[in-house]
Structure 1
Amino acid sequence: MLVAAAVCPCPPLLVPEVAGGAAPELEDARAHCADALGVLAAARPDRLYVVGPAPEGARGAFPAGSTGSFAGFGVDLAVSLGQGPGGRTLPASLAVGAWLLSRTDRPGAPGASVAGFGVDERATAEECAEAGRRLAASAERVALLVMGDGSACRTVKAPGYLDERAAGFDAEAARALGSADVPGLLALDAGLAYELKAAGRAPWQVLAGAAEGTGLGGRLLHEEAPYGVEYLVAVWS
């Protein structure tokens, strides 16, 4: 059963070594991510899943000990998802999640397991929700660290250029995440999200499926759109 969740953005720029001279620009986001992970720790889950968008070939389950690297971004920095035999290479979103976990006390009860789950950005809402239900049913006390960004179309300099639909999409996502609105998250349009390059839509809908029937409450900790990309931090507990 899901007992807590933290929602964080997943740009590699969140890692100071990757951001370089721009690192201070995301310091508030990093601080709020740390606060969100504190909520996970307080929930003392038996199992923690890091969930994030993943390209083809990097989807599905990632066992404890799976490793990732930021070498593709010009930084000699490796991360590991918990302790275990591993066997898979983490996609960027899960690598950022592993990096966040490495900066805080390990969330969970003694002996808690950590694993990852990569989601197809084109998956339907029901496919995402069903994945979330499976994750939530995998242990008595489950927590999720949900990695994903909003639209990447908020300004003319954004990766997806300016799209007038982006602000409304992001506002609804922020509202749903901040109020733990399960139906609201599941109602986010997958096609529109893909057009707006909103990589968080599918992971957020995994969260929605995991949270069905739990009665968890939500709180939005952080919202900004640097570089024209929407970054959100929220907690459900």
Structure 2
Amino acid sequence: MLLAAAVCPHPPLLVPQLTGASVQQPSNGPAAAVAALRETALAAVRDLLAVGDEAGTDLDVVVVGTGPTPGSAAPDAVGSLAGYGADVTVALTRGEPGTAAPSLPLSVTVGVWLLREAGYPGPVRARVVTEHATPAECADLGARIAAFPTPTVLLVMGDGSASRDEKAPGALDPRAVPFDTAVADALAAVDTAALGALDPALARELLAAGRAPWQILAGAVEADGRPWKGELRSTDAPYGVGYLVASWSPV
């Protein structure tokens, strides 16, 4: 049974070791926005985990994100941010990461990092989809997650468009802000139909990695059948990339 869901972005800069956190930073600007985004994302994850505490039961914690190879990650899989310049390794299993070669994509790696930073020590399940997953495939996966018999919370990892200004990774695209605004409105209103209708081709052109995970979330809530409420917690776009944080829960 699906208890709650949180939506978070997955820029590696959420991890302090990659931000020069020991260096004096200005009180405004992109670096400060990233620090605020980190705290907002961690607050959303803490609230997600608190649902299990309130329910008084063990949780099935599931992270979904995009990556090159679709499927369920191995229970002992690990992820690393070494390729981004940080000696940070996380594992899906309890305790310290083992010696397995890193295999988790960035989206899931950052998701697990958020869970560990939020104080969750238990096992995590990870489901990876590619950016080419169709809306129907995403909805089907979401429905299967909603059908898990154990109490489940869902951490949905995905960035918005990366084309918000001239310095963004995808350069400036006038379609980026309307795309992110539509997603933000859908997350705030728990508009599963709007999320399900997002165009995969447009999302790829805008480098919006969150499209498929958001559609998995939409499919899960539609399959759940209960009314849900949403809280949009952040819509910041430092460095020209749209980063959305939201919390969903049954009414």
What's the TM-score, normalizing by structure 1?
0.91
Structure 2 distance, partners of 1:139, 1:103, is 27
Q: Following TM superposition, by how much is the alpha carbon of 1:180 offset from its aligned partner in structure 2, in angstroms?
A: 1.2
Secondary structure at 1:20 match in 2: coil
State the percentage of identical aligned residues.
Answer: 50
- Partner deviation per Cα, 1:138-190 (whole Å, 9 max, x = no partner): 23321111110000011011111111111110000001111211111101111
- Partner deviation per Cα, 1:100-136 (whole Å, 9 max, x = no partner): 01111228xxxx7520011111111111110111112
Structure with higher Rg: it is: 2
Secondary structure at 2:131 match in 1: coil
Question: Which structure 2 residues correspond to residues 204-219 of structure 1 after superposition, within 5 A?
Answer: 204-212=214-222, 213-219=225-231
Q: Is the 8 A contact 2:9 2:244 kept in 1?
A: yes
Q: Is the 8 A contact 2:92 2:123 kept in 1?
A: no
Q: Alpha carbon RMSD of aligned pairs, Å? A: 2.0
**Which residue type is aligned with residue 224 of structure 1?**
D
Secondary structure at 1:83 match in 2: coil
Alignment counterpart, residue 149 of structure 1, candidates 151, 159, 172: 159
What's the TM-score, normalizing by structure 2?
0.86
Query: Which stretch has the larger CA shift, 37-46 or 165-174?
Result: 37-46
The residue that corresponds to 2:37 in the other structure is 29
Structure 2 distance, partners of 1:114, 1:170, is 29
Structure 1 distance, partners of 2:35, 2:76, is 28
Give ranges in structure 2 of 5+ residues lacking alignment. 22-29, 53-57
- The 4+ residue runs of structure 1 with deviation greater than 6 A are 84-88
Q: Following TM superposition, by how much is the alpha carbon of 1:62 offset from its aligned partner in structure 2, in angstroms?
A: 1.4
Structure 2 distance, partners of 1:204, 1:23, is 26
Aligned: 1:68 with 2:76: no
Give ranges in structure 1 of 5+ residues lacking alignment. none
- Partner deviation per Cα, 1:52-91 (whole Å, 9 max, x = no partner): 1111x3x210143321111111222211123299977211
Aligned: 1:101 with 2:115: yes
Aligned: 1:125 with 2:138: no
Q: Following TM superposition, by how much is the alpha carbon of 1:39 offset from its aligned partner in structure 2, in angstroms?
A: 2.1
Query: Which stretch has the larger CA shift, 193-202 or 134-143?
Result: 134-143
Question: Which structure 2 residues correspond to residues 51-200 of structure 1 after superposition, within 5 A?
Answer: 51-55=64-68, 57=69, 59-83=70-94, 89-106=103-120, 113-200=123-210
Alignment counterpart, residue 224 of structure 1, candidates 218, 236, 239: 236
Q: Is the 8 A contact 1:16 1:23 kept in 2?
A: no
**Which residue type is aligned with residue 216 of structure 2?**
V
Q: Following TM superposition, by how much is the alpha carbon of 1:94 offset from its aligned partner in structure 2, in angstroms?
A: 0.5
Secondary structure at 2:49 match in 1: helix
**Which residue type is aligned with residue 79 of structure 2?**
G
Structure 2 distance, partners of 1:113, 1:68, is 14
